Amino acid sequence: MISKKMQDALNEQVNKEFYSAYLYLAMSAYCNAQGLPGFSNWMRYQYEEEFLHVTKMYDYILNQGGSVHLKQIDEPPSEFGTPLEVFEATLEHEQFVTKCINELMGLAVDERDFATQTFLQWYVTEQVEEEANVNDILAPLRLVGKEGGGLMMIDQQLAKRVSPAPLAPAE
């Protein structure tokens, strides 16, 4: 069983995770419109991964006897600039999500909610991976600049990313 305070905080994070999915879907559409199908593919994968994060948190709230309260999702931007600017915005967003997850973990620690701490540890680890993945793309993007063969090579590499396996339904 989770406390009302933890339930409310987790519901806020569900909304943030939904926004993350929405943001990456908008970025995917933008990259596609820019003629960068690999970048679009990478962002579409991010959308699917974020949606899995939502589902996982949604199920946890319900499995802990809590109530899920879905809220309105803010509209994401539709213009993002150069591919470098897209990934700089992605890193900034992932750093924001990391901060939010850390705040949730802090609340779980303060409340001595060991089950939620264990659950959130997956997200803590996931955020380390998310930021590292974005930084791994930013490094070559900063080297190649806005256009040219290097950008196309990066686009081709990003096209190889495949969708995550769907989560099994909650039991």
pLDDT tens, position by position, 65-118: 999 999 999 999 999 999 999 999 999 999 999 999 999 999 999 999 999 999
Q: What is the reported pTM?
A: 0.86
Report the topology of domain 4-158. Answer: Ferritin (1.20.1260)
What is the DSSP-derived secondary structure letter of residue 82?
Answer: S
The total number of residues shown for the chain amounts to 171
Q: Please give the structure tokens belonging to residue 17.
A: 């995770």
Q: What confidence score (pLDDT) does residue 12 get?
A: 98
pLDDT in the model for residue 171: 44
Distance CA(32)–CA(27), nearest Å, equals 8
